A and B are shown apart, each in its own frame.
Chain A
Amino acid sequence: MDAHKKILRTLDKARTAPRVTEKEWDQIIVPNTAAEVVKAHGLTKTCDPVNPVNTDLELADKFFKAGWDLALRLGFFCPDTESVVKVDEEELHREFCKAPASFTVGKNNEVVTVSARKPSDGKPPVYVAPLSIQMDEELYVPLAEGIVSSRLVDMQEGPSIDTVMGRPLLADTPYETFAGIYEYHLRKEAQWRAGRVGMASALVSSSSTHFGFLGAFHLYEQPQIALCLNPASLKVNYTTLHKCFVANELNAFIRSESPTMIGGYTGGPEATAICSIATDILQFPITGAHLPGSPSYDIRYAGNCGRHGIWTQSIATQAVTRNSNILQMKTINQVAGPFTKMFFLETISGMTAASASGQTFTISPRSAGGSVKNHLTPLECWYNAAVFKGAAGISLAKANEIVKEVIPQFEDDLYNPPKGRSFQDLYDIKTLTPCEEYVKFYLEMREYAKSLGITMPGDGVLC
């Protein structure tokens, strides 16, 4: 009941707070307040793109204080009511201290405990695959089966579909409600075929609005991880809250997310980092998320494996993981596609920095920026998992060295990345076997990561 009361409080606040327009919030209140806080905490121009993984932990602590300060000054904007849900210090402190430091999901052989990590923690983080990459509906089962056939993958989230039994899955219609139900059946089949009955999921992937979620989340044996994304960083809306009520009633764990954009409304890297920290901290009193994750993307290429992306995301992660026991989740956003060298290099850059900075949990990959249909295969997922887990225990200085080695090899292509090849092109779908040339390349890229000092645990299928 406590969890329900929290959401009711958020709704009450949104309903009764004075009106603020979204334009004012986006274009004036957020940028100006974030810039003021950066200045007040002496963080101006602290971003060091030459050394993308921050190694100055005192600086990370200063960012945490600034993020906290910003959280109290801002709150979350609610577009449905055009008002701001504010939180006072006592409430923020209380809810933040109550944030869970671990939870367990999955049944039988599939039990996974998600627990808080610190920078350079030797404990491997939890890896979930894939993001909601769009696939032809007939490819859902083979792809998902292929992905979860490696035990490097702890849980399943995507992919998602855009047709249901050959019909267009129109967002915001009953087709979407049905898509949630349909995804449930497809997922069960894929997990069964892969011998992973009982594995936990993050849901509902094929649900653009709340309909698919409300129609299908309850079908799963609980607890699962509920996908309750925010409409934007520092915002919450009715769609999110609809889902939160249902998730809480079912004792599920809430995963929140919405990226801050470097160069967008939040401003430069420093201001963007504190907006991400504030977004994560505010989830506790406002939505009650268990897995807060506001990543930072570079607006110039909508990814975060380049210098500014890595710096911003790593300092925000270090700030939170050093100063709390919360379960920090963030996504790593590649922009290149399957079977391109760039994709693998982006992965080394993003996943090493994330793991070394103390991230607990991630969901990936975002092959081809997530925006080219069918451009995802199991191999990219396994590679992401191996780097993320294999980089556990690496020092921040070492992570910085690795990132500095790989970024120059792809940074010029971030603005026009190669989209790579599709699942059908790279796999024999019937037998679920990858083509030889891709396997060879994948194994070479694993060796390359090892040569950089990442342990690269085996995927249990090809190696």
Chain B
Amino acid sequence: MSEEILKKLAEAMYEGDSDLVETLTKEALDAGVAPGDIIEKGGVSALDRLGKDFSELVVFLPQLMLAGHAMNKLLQIVRPHLSEKEGASRGKIIIGTAKGDFHDIGKSLVATQLEVSGFEVIDIGTNVSTNEFIQKAEETGADIIAMSSLLTTSQYYMEDCIKRLNDEGKRGTYRVVVGGGPIRQNYAEKIGADGYARTAYGSVSLCKELMKKTPDTEFIAIDA
């Protein structure tokens, strides 16, 4: 019975059907399926399959995004049933593309990968000013500010944001990660970011590592 529900759940997750995921997750809990199994067998297994199919051009960005939202739904329902440690959200992330820059494809891929990996992601779009980044992070109580930039003329604003956080004594409140086409590890380090990843996949391990960050954690770079 529970195997049957988990199979259906994984299928609904793969299809990105949030409503069905909601119903089946509740059913699974009612049927006494362990919350950890619901996440792993109902959610993560389907997302792994989607990731593989994306890399082979069987599914595309919109399906990944839908599945990301569905996974979020599943986690919202299951989280109260987990122990306090297990149930903690992976973290809340504000993500956007720096001011003057309208490139959104890489940023959306990163947002989706982070969401399917259990982070709560708030995508604030493109052409985001330093003020907006900081204001949104404050409003939402974000743990991580993630900035994307594909233009060297916009990447200056990443530095500006970190400087502003420092000047206003807020730097310790947020981990700051950066990435995008022209961004390199040494640049990220130079401007005082906490981490850099070259790809959307890398951004997941980066943010997971950073959530464990203590004040003396060194800069993290993921070249993958």
Interface residues of A (CB under 8 A from B): 26-28, 31, 134, 162, 168-173, 176, 206, 208-209, 231-232, 237, 239, 261-269, 299-300, 302, 308, 369-373
Contact = CB atoms under 8 A, between A and B. Distances in A.
B151 A171 contact: yes
Nearest to A212: B153
Interface size class of B (residues with CB under 8 A): 20 to 34
B182 A134 contact: yes
Interface stretch (B37-45, B102-110, B164-172): B102-110
A264 B60 contact: yes
16 contacts: A27-B62, A27-B65, A162-B152, A162-B153, A169-B152, A169-B153, A171-B151, A237-B102, A239-B102, A263-B60, A265-B61, A265-B62, A267-B62, A300-B55, A308-B57, A370-B181
Given A170-B100, A308-B57, A264 B156 contact: no
Interface of B: 54-55, 57, 60-62, 65-66, 99-102, 104-106, 109, 127, 150-154, 156-157, 181-182
Nearest to A372: B182
Contact of A209 (B62, B100, B181): B100
A208 B153 contact: yes
Contacts of B154: 171, 208
A176 B153 contact: yes
Given A208-B153, A266-B60, 7 more contacts: A27-B66, A162-B152, A168-B156, A172-B127, A206-B153, A232-B104, A300-B55
Most buried by A among B55, B100, B157: B100
A31 B109 CA distance: 16
B57 A262 contact: yes
B196 to A, nearest CB: 14
A231 B102 contact: yes
Contacts of A134: 152, 182
B37 to A, nearest CB: 30
Nearest to A232: B104
Contact of B99 (A162, A172, A237, A267): A172
A176 B100 CA distance: 10
Nearest to A30: B62
B99 A171 contact: yes
Given A162-B152, A264-B60, A371-B150, A299 B109 contact: yes
Most buried by B among A237, A265, A369: A265
Contact of B181 (A162, A173, A267, A371): A371
A264 B105 contact: yes
B126 to A, nearest CB: 9
A308 B57 CA distance: 9
A134 B55 CA distance: 30
Contacts of B57: 262-263, 268-269, 300, 308
A265 B60 contact: yes
Contacts of A264: 60-61, 105
Contact of A261 (B61, B66, B101, B127): B61
A171 B155 CA distance: 9
A339 B61 CA distance: 34
B117 to A, nearest CB: 19
Contacts of A302: 106, 181
A438 B210 CA distance: 43
Contacts of B55: 300
